[in-house]
Amino acid sequence: MTKHTFSSRLPLPAVSRFVRQRTGCTLLLAPLLLCVPMAQAQSLKPSLQLRAPEATARAAGASGGQQAADYIVAVVNSEPITNNEVRAKLVRAEQQLSQQGAVLPPRSELARQVMERLINDKAQLQLARSSGLRVEDNAVENAVLGVARQNQLSLEDLRRRLVADGISYVQFRSDLRDEILMTRLRQRELESRVTITEQNIDQFLREQQTAMASATPEINLAQILIAVPENATAQQVAALQTKAVQAAERARAGADFGVLANEMSDSPTRATGGQMGLRSAERYPPLFLEATKNLPVGGIADLVRSGAGFHVLKLVEKKQADTLGMTVTQTRVRHILLRTTPALSDTAAREKLLAIKQRIVGGQSDFAAQARQNSEDASAREGGDLGWASPGTFVPEFEQVMNTLAPGQISEPLTSRFGTHLIQVVERRDTELSKREQREMARNALREIKQEEAYALWAQEVRGRAYVEYREPPQ
């Protein structure tokens, strides 16, 4: 797998990021295809939410245990939307939101959103079909496989879980096909509506720099506290002040501040060399901020007296808020990839990678040698090394696991849309983006903003051209 293969853009059937509407709604992926309040959808992952059988039983009981008589609730052009269609989507939405711990809106409000989502989808699907767009069977098969992999399931397990969730496999495939079709339509229609000029990028970067300049910086202060008892005499206070002055003089003379803190400080932070940690400046006491505001990094402030005693303060680090991400943490990572085939199932691939991991951890082999021998990726000849990667370089399922690993640590086998991986993080570094990388990041951010705006307008246009007749409200 070449590095560029790991795109941060989700392939079909995932809905492109621009599908999120600025009207406060976001689209859930197939088979739901509905709209929920953005605040309640933030934690929903871009994969099918599969439930345990007992959750299905509870959901069935909550919905009354029986299906009401069906009737038409709305007509889009000549195509009806039925009550049972709305109810099915509604139950799935409630189940998914409940699983995520979200507060459910009133059922009538969620039902209204579900029906409006269905109306919009019907109008867009009709437009896609009338314009000649089609979805090949192999694209649907790849989509099904992608959902299975995202949920760490075999195809057989996926079918069983769908049945447990009350979703027929035929309907599931149909929903995926519709989602792919609508995504292709949106991509085609919106591509020509979004233009990013160099002037747009210049303006965006200027706005970001202005925001950064006015943002509260983050600082890390270290302190040596010479505590003064509450009822200390004047002589005791003078002696303690002398001790604090001596600590400050030794620090300015080049003595190791951490050693001094461990030796002299009465603060619990002495265990960390006196450091209080990188945090927003406003989270420090005003006395500390006033004393250190003009210090260079590494400087020692004038002695500070508080109700607790005398403080010797050192400015360890100062970091201006980085709203665009001009500085990023890059990860150097390597992997071993096994592609699943009829001859090598997901389970067999995981077992093989577990055996490889055991040999590496046991010192019988090293990761690079195992990658050269076993990996089915183009990086194999480099010992699986994917080089330095910035956030968003790899697909989410890969990057999520990678970000949990410490340097040198090897993951458990994980499944992505490309196959099954064993990952090892080699090292990490903080690096400043080049001017070209900054402009590319700005271009991507602007494209997402403009695509969201274009989608909202386009969806309204499609809806406005459709004949929509409301019948009886859904129950």
Please count the other Cβ atoms lying within 10 Å of the Cβ belonging to residue 11: 13
Last residue of a domain, one of 285, 319, 353: 319
Q: Are residues 32 and 153 in the same domain?
A: yes
User: Most distant CA pair in the chain: distance in Å?
Assistant: 94
Q: Are residues 309 and 332 in the same domain?
A: no
Residue 383 lies in a domain: yes
SS (H, E, C) 110-149: HHHHHHHHHHHHHHHHHHHHHCCCCCCHHHHHHHHHHHHH
Residue 374 lies in a domain: yes
Q: Are residues 153 and 46 in the same domain?
A: yes
- In this predicted structure, the answer to whether residue 429 has a pLDDT above a threshold of 80 is yes
Residue 439 lies in a domain: no
Q: Are residues 119 and 180 in the same domain?
A: yes
Q: Output DSSP code: residue 153.
A: -
Last residue of a domain, one of 319, 343, 372: 319
Q: For the ranges 114-128, 142-156, 253-267, which has the lowest average pLDDT?
A: 142-156
Q: Are residues 170 and 257 in the same domain?
A: no
**pLDDT reported for residue 108:** 87
Residue 202 lies in a domain: no
Q: Output DSSP code: residue 66.
A: S
CA distances for 311 relative to 249, 305, 420, angstroms: 13, 6, 54
Q: What total number of domains does the chain contain?
A: 3
Residue 206 lies in a domain: no
DSSP secondary structure string, 352-410? HHHHHHHHHHTTSS-HHHHHHHH--SGGGGGTTEEEEE-TTSS-HHHHHHHTTPPTT-B
113 CB contacts (<8 Å, ≥6 apart)? 25, 34, 35, 36, 37, 105
Last residue of a domain, one of 319, 352, 383: 319
Q: Within a 13 Å sphere around the CA of 417, how many CA atoms are in the beta-carbon half?
A: 23
**pLDDT reported for residue 3:** 32
Condensed to tens digits (0 to 9), the pLDDT of residues 366-422 reads 999 999 999 999 999 999 999 998 887 888 778 888 888 889 999 988 888 788 899
Is 381 exposed, middle or buried (CB count within 10 Å of its CB: 0-12, 13-18, 19+)?
Answer: exposed
CA dihedral (384, 389, 394, 400) positive or negative:
positive
Q: Output DSSP code: residue 269.
A: G
Q: Are residues 131 and 250 in the same domain?
A: no
Q: Are residues 69 and 183 in the same domain?
A: yes
Assign residue 299 the CATH number of its domain: 3.10.50.40
- In this predicted structure, the answer to whether residue 39 has a pLDDT above a threshold of 70 is no
Assign residue 138 the CATH number of its domain: 1.10.4030.10
Q: Are residues 104 and 34 in the same domain?
A: yes
- In this predicted structure, the answer to whether residue 55 has a pLDDT above a threshold of 50 is no
**pLDDT reported for residue 267:** 85
Q: What percent of the chain has pLDDT over 70?
A: 82
Q: Are residues 93 and 225 in the same domain?
A: no
pLDDT-based confidence at residue 119 (cuts at 50, 70, 90): very high
Q: Are residues 12 and 130 in the same domain?
A: yes
Q: Are residues 62 and 179 in the same domain?
A: yes
**If you average pLDDT over each of 148-152, 207-211, 252-256, 275-279, which comes out highest?**
252-256
Residue 394 lies in a domain: yes
- Phi, psi angles (nearest 5°) of residue 168: -75, 150
**pLDDT reported for residue 11:** 27
Residue 334 lies in a domain: yes
Residue 119 and residue 466: Cα distance in Å, rounded?
A: 9
Q: Are residues 282 and 410 in the same domain?
A: no
CA end-to-end span of the chain, whole Å?
Answer: 50
Domain extent for 296: 220-319
Residue 441 lies in a domain: no
**pLDDT reported for residue 17:** 31
| H/E segment holding residue 455 | helix 435-465
Identify which has the larger pLDDT, 440 or 35.
440
Tell me the one-letter amino acid at 289.
Answer: L
Residue 425 and residue 292: Cα distance in Å, rounded?
A: 37
